[in-house]
Amino acid sequence: MSGNASPLIDWNAFNQARAELGSDFLRILGYFKEDGAKSLDAIEEAMRNKSSAALVRPAHTLKGEARQFGAELLAVIAEEIEVVARRCVELHTTPDELIPQVVKLRPMFEDTLQMFDRETNPLMERRPGGFGRRAIFG
């Protein structure tokens, strides 16, 4: 899969992180999964509370961690949330305009993690109906 183009993942960045982190890669990727989920929870809570200030830090954290692993589209949306939230803080406005981005974030995060899992777990099925599988006709 790592050679395939993906709108969600920059596989070159992912593989570079894997090479640089070596034996620590899976552990640190696990931290990304945990920290990313916490950041998402904080972002969603901040939106429910219409708190621009509370959006900035978790969006910034998610952006940086996503970029480290090549989750570029996730990083771009997190960065947009961070930038707009900072502007809203300066202008003393609510972050209502960010609702569409925040709504996209969790499904995108989950899709990204699923792709990471497929790439890092050799036991996960990569392609349905590959070599050695019997076709089932019914």
pLDDT digits (tens, 9 = 90+) for 56-114: 999 999 999 999 999 999 999 999 999 999 999 999 999 999 999 999 999 999 999 99
The residues, any chain, with a CB within 8 Å of residue 25's CB and separated by 6 or more, are 17, 18, 120
Q: Where are the domains of the chain?
A: 28-120
Q: Are 29 and 120 in contact (CB under 8 A)?
A: yes
Q: Is pLDDT above 70 for 136?
A: no
CATH class of the 28-120 domain in this structure: mainly alpha
Looking at 28-32, 115-119, 121-125, 131-135, which range is the least confident one? 131-135
Helix axes 99-120, 25-48, angle to 10 degrees: 160
